[in-house]
Amino acid sequence: MLVVMRSHASPDQIDRVLAAIRDMGLTPHPMPGPTRTAIGITGNTGAIDANLLAVLPAVSELIRVTKPYKLASREMKGEDTLIQTPMAPIGPPNFTIIAGPCSVENEEMILRTAEHLASRGITLMRAGAFKPRSSPYSFQGMGLEGLAILAKARARTGVGIVTELMDTENADAVEEAADLIQIGTRNMQNFSLLKRAGKARKPVILKRGMSATLEEWLMAAEYILAGGNRDVVLCERGVRTFSDHSRNTLDLSVIPPVKALSHLPILVDPSHGTGKRAFVPPMALAALAAGADGLLIEIHPDPDHAMSDGAQSLDFAAFDRLLEDLRRLAEPLGRTIV
């Protein structure tokens, strides 16, 4: 349920509604808006006795939220969420580029990548220190040492860090090193990890599970939001289908329904979505045209010798060409590349 307060509601009147909700054993989520405050309610297993709230001063309206996800829904919050990071905002009208290698491989390649991004005005870099690999014999990432390299790159270039959190064990270290915490496709329904991300003080990029429906994905986002972290960014990275011409099927058709059903921003990862670097630029441009709020994209100083996902990584020159094309397409679409 959503309690909509009158536009002139005083802080005391809002507090009274919050207290009444808590007295009912439920959790209030105040959402100050440009014209009025709304208060989302979660925690109920059955119907809420609306009369107890309707009679309180300055309550304007009570709206039942019909979707199973509440805090993630447009019904609960009509305005698009704009997420602030120290480097770049994520959410309309921005189109936010996050680029970098699949993995932290060594200090030199991370510094080179960060410097290249900074020189092109790109302020967020991705790179995994903890890597979820299909094979236990593949490179598993540099772990804590990788996080230290990322921290150094951030200190030296000012570029913000996006890095994956794979397990609760390393949550404190990843939260400390990251400007945005990535949760990967394989962990989309790792509920203990989602609950931990809900307690994090950093925004979370939640990738879509490789066979998750839109509702399952938004329910996963709901875990993080319900835990108290309002800063969730969705990321479409391709789903499993019968197609074998690409690594995954990049489901750009999910963007319009995400925008209709949720206020959360959505990024697209055309690298994991296609698995082949030649397919990355066209799908990146298509993501912008389809209404995505940005890209999570793999680039590498020497893709042919990358320790993971080289086949889908752009080299710096190809990335620069893509950036030019994105900037040209963004303007008529009313989007600003950040």
Residue 28: both structure tokens together: 């209030």
Residue 40 or 303 with smaller CB distance to Mn ion: 303
Beta carbon nearer to Mn ion, 75 or 105:
105
Contact partner at residue 259 from ligand PEP, Mn ion, none, CB < 5 to 8 Å by partner kind: none
Structure tokens at 129: 């220190």
d(CA 230, CA 204): 9
Of 20 and 129, which has the nearer Cβ to ligand PEP?
129
Tell me how far, at minimum, the Cβ of 298 lies from Mn ion, in Å: 6
Report which residue's Cβ sits closest to Mn ion.
Answer: 102
CA distances, 284 to each of 87, 161, 298, 308 (Å): 22, 21, 11, 20
Least gap, CB of 271 to Mn ion (angstroms): 7
d(CA 58, CA 15): 11
Residue number, 9 or 114, with CB nearest to Mn ion = 114
Residues 6+ apart with CB under 8 A from 43: 25, 26, 27
The answer to whether residues 181 and 203 touch, using CB atoms and an 8 Å cutoff, is yes
CA–chain centroid gap for 101, Å, is: 18
Q: Report the nearest approach of ligand PEP to the CB of residue 134 (Å).
A: 9
- Are 211 and 237 in contact by the 8 Å Cβ rule? The answer is no
Here the tokens at position 213 are 């429906």
CB of 211 to ligand PEP, least distance (A): 12
CB of 32 to ligand PEP, least distance (A): 34
Choose from Mn ion, ligand PEP, none: what does 184 bind? Cβ within 5-8 Å by kind. ligand PEP
Q: How far apart are the C-alpha atoms of 78 and 136, rounded to whole Å?
A: 44
Q: Which lies closer to ligand PEP via its Cβ, residue 231 or residue 269?
A: 269
Contact partner, 237, from Mn ion, ligand PEP, none, Cβ < 5-8 Å per class: ligand PEP
Name the residues that contact Mn ion, by CB under 5 A: 102, 309
Nearer to ligand PEP, 70 or 237 (CB): 237
**Measured distance CA(206)–CA(294) in Å, rounded:** 14
The one of Mn ion, ligand PEP, none whose footprint includes residue 236, by CB under 5 to 8 A per kind, is none
Task: Name which of 31 and 205 has its Cβ closer to ligand PEP.
Answer: 205
- Site residues for ligand PEP per CB under 6 A: 102, 128, 132, 184-185, 207, 237, 269, 272
Report, in Å, the least distance between residue 174 CB and Mn ion.
16
Length of the chain: 338
| Distance (Å, whole) CA 296 – CA 162 | 9
- Nearest distance from C-beta of residue 204 to Mn ion, angstroms: 18
